[in-house]
Every structure is written in C-alpha cells, then in structure tokens.
C-alpha cells in the first residue's frame, strides 16, 4: 500500500485502490465491505472493499481468509500479501478517514454522526468499484447500526445489486473477511507511520491499542494533552475519553465579544452555551478549551509556535 498521499496530508481522507483485475470487468463479481478502527480514540478509521468474480470465490476461500480480529498481525500481513499476488482476480479499495475528519463531522454545527459517516463511506466505495468498471452483482456488508435499516438504504441506492447486511459478516462471508484484512492492515500501517504535524517534543509512540479503555492509551493521552490547544490531530477530539481528560487538564477561559461565524479552530471550541448563561452579554461567547475540530480553520501545516502566534491575533480568544 502506498501511503504517501496520506503522509503528505492526514487531515482529511485518502482513497487507495489496487488495479482492477481484467476479469472483474467481464464477469459478475461479489464485493465485501468492512472497516477497522471504528472504536479507537487514536488514529484513523479505515473502510475497505474487496471483490472477485463469483466464479473465483472458491479460490478466495482457499486463501483461508478470516475475520481480521481473529488473526495476528503477521497472519494479516501474509494474507494481504497473498491477495496482492492474486491480483489477477482479487481487487480492493480503501477509504482512510482521519481523526480530524471524524471529529469535525461529529462536532460540527451540522452534526454528522459516526454511523452516517460509516454508511456514506461504504456507499462511496461500492460506487467507486462500479465507476472503475467492476461488474458487481452481490454485496455483503458487516453492519453498522441496525442491519435491516442499513440494508434497505443500500438496496435503494443500488437497486440492481443483491445486498446483504449482517452482524459479524466478517466471520460469515469470505469476501467480507478479505475486506476486513485489507482495512486492518491499512490502519495498522497508517498508525505506525503517522506524521505528526504538531512537531511535538519527546513524542512517545507507545500508544497501546488506541482504544479508550486501554491504560497505555490513557497514559499517552494525558502525557500529550496541551492545556490550551488540546491534543495532536492524531486524537479524535469527539471521543468522551478525550473530552474527560481535557475537562480535567485544560485551562478554562472566558472571552467576550461576538465571535465570527467560523470561530472554532483545531482543538478549541466554545462550548458553554450563550453569554447570558454565565453573566455575560447576549452574544458573548463563554467557554472552556474542549475536544473539537469543528469549523473551517486549522493549523495543520504550522508548528506550535506559529499556532500560539496566530491564536494571539484572534480578538475573541482572550483568557
């Protein structure tokens, strides 16, 4: 997998894909959809599709693909390498969603929850395969939310394709197992090679699993919280674990004056309600440094000193 595009800009999303096997443009194909990294507070979420002709499904099963969660890292890497070797009949595509994109979506002025983001990403990848000329006739999806609702939505979007959405589909359908392996291998690689734009000193890369209940992850979060600007962009600011740490470790601020429409900067957001809630004038913007990446401004391409300098120029951010 070539992650150079993600390494150049890990603030949004990045799509990667294999070459489309010629046979997949000629014969009816089955396609599986799965994700990796939905739950962690650290790092990206990766959605993946894997597809092959129906006539070669037995060959895919012969690779002994399985739910990626049941495999060791070395086993996943070996199986992904084998799928790459079998590129004459197996294809895949990925959508890597950055922590910043996830949190911006969830905490923006117009809420966009994780389920909706997941559903739309899956739809986008299926459409991507169709746009590449893959003759998709069956789709199997590991569910997010209620499988019946999700399946109905996908079936309406792709009426000519037979869609099946199931819980634990990655353990039931080999083509979904293959997609789960692609997603997990990609996420692991993205996390290991993450490019921190903040130029942090004494950066500790011992993140643990990245899941909120992992003690190593919690230690890492506490070590790398900045009292004014919050966490690096590697952290999903919208996760409750991150919010709880900021509430304890971050500085409280109160500022007066009507904020411009696009006020929230990366890691900083007004949250405490209207100015009248805390004794200010209506239109004043009280708040506390909190876990948010909503708004249009980000400082992903500058170092910490530049961030401080820029923040000092914002008239509405006065301690």
Where do the domains of the chain lie, and which CATH numbers do they carry?
A: 3-193 (3.30.420.10), 215-249 (no CATH)
pLDDT at 25 (0 to 100): 98
Q: Which of 7, 95, 102, 105 is nearest to 46 (CA)?
A: 95
pLDDT at 258 (0 to 100): 59
Q: Say if CB 65 and CB 82 are below 8 A apart.
A: no
pLDDT at 257 (0 to 100): 62
Q: What is the value of pTM for the model shown?
A: 0.79
pLDDT at 255 (0 to 100): 67
Q: d(Cα 51, Cα 184) in Å, to the nearest integer?
A: 16
The reply to whether 34 sits in an annotated binding site is yes
Per-residue pLDDT of 101-129, as tens digits, reads 999 999 888 889 999 999 999 999 999 99
Q: Say if CB 221 and CB 116 are below 8 A apart.
A: no
What's the mean pLDDT when you consider all of the chain?
82
Stretches where the chain sits below pLDDT 50 are 260-319
End-to-end CA distance of the chain: 46
The reply to whether 142 sits in an annotated binding site is yes
Per-residue pLDDT of 160-202, as tens digits, reads 999 999 999 999 999 999 999 999 999 999 998 898 888 777 8
Q: d(Cα 108, Cα 112) in Å, to the nearest integer?
A: 8
Phi, psi (5° rounding) for residue 257? Answer: 110, 140
Q: Say if CB 187 and CB 207 are below 8 A apart.
A: no
pLDDT at 313 (0 to 100): 34
């Amino acid at each position: 997998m070539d992650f150079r595009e993600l390494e150049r800009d890990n603030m949004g999303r990045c799509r990667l894909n294999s070459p489309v096997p010629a046979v997949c443009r000629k014969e009816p194909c089955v396609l599986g959809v799965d994700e990796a990294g939905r739950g962690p507070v650290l790092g990206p979420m990766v959605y993946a599709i894997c597809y092959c002709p129906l006539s070669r499904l037995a060959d895919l099963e012969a690779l002994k693909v399985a739910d990626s969660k049941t495999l060791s890292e070395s086993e996943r890497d070996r199986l992904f390498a084998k799928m790459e070797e079998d590129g004459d009949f197996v294809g895949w595509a990925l959508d890597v969603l950055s922590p910043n994109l996830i949190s911006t979506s969830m905490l923006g002025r117009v809420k966009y929850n994780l389920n909706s983001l997941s559903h739309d990403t899956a739809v986008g990848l299926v459409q991507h395969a169709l746009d590449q000329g893959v003759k998709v006739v069956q789709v199997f999806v590991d569910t997010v939310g209620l499988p019946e609702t999700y399946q109905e939505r996908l079936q309406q979007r792709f009426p000519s394709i037979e869609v099946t959405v199931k819980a634990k589909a990655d353990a039931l359908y080999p083509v979904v197992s293959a997609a789960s392996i692609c997603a997990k291998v990609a996420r692991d690689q993205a996390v290991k090679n993450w490019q921190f734009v903040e130029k942090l000193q004494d950066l500790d890369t011992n993140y643990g699993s990245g899941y909120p209940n992992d003690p190593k992850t919690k230690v890492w979060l506490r070590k790398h919280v900045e009292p004014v600007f919050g966490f690096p962009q590697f952290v999903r600011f919208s996760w409750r674990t991150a919010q709880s740490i900021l509430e304890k470790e971050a500085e409280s601020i109160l500022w007066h004056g009507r904020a411009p429409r696009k006020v929230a900067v990366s890691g900083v957001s007004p949250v405490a309600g209207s100015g009248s809630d805390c004794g200010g004038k209506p239109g004043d913007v009280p708040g506390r440094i909190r876990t948010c990446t909503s708004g249009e401004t980000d400082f992903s391409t500058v170092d910490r000193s530049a961030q401080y300098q820029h923040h000092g120029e914002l008239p509405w951010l006065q301690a």
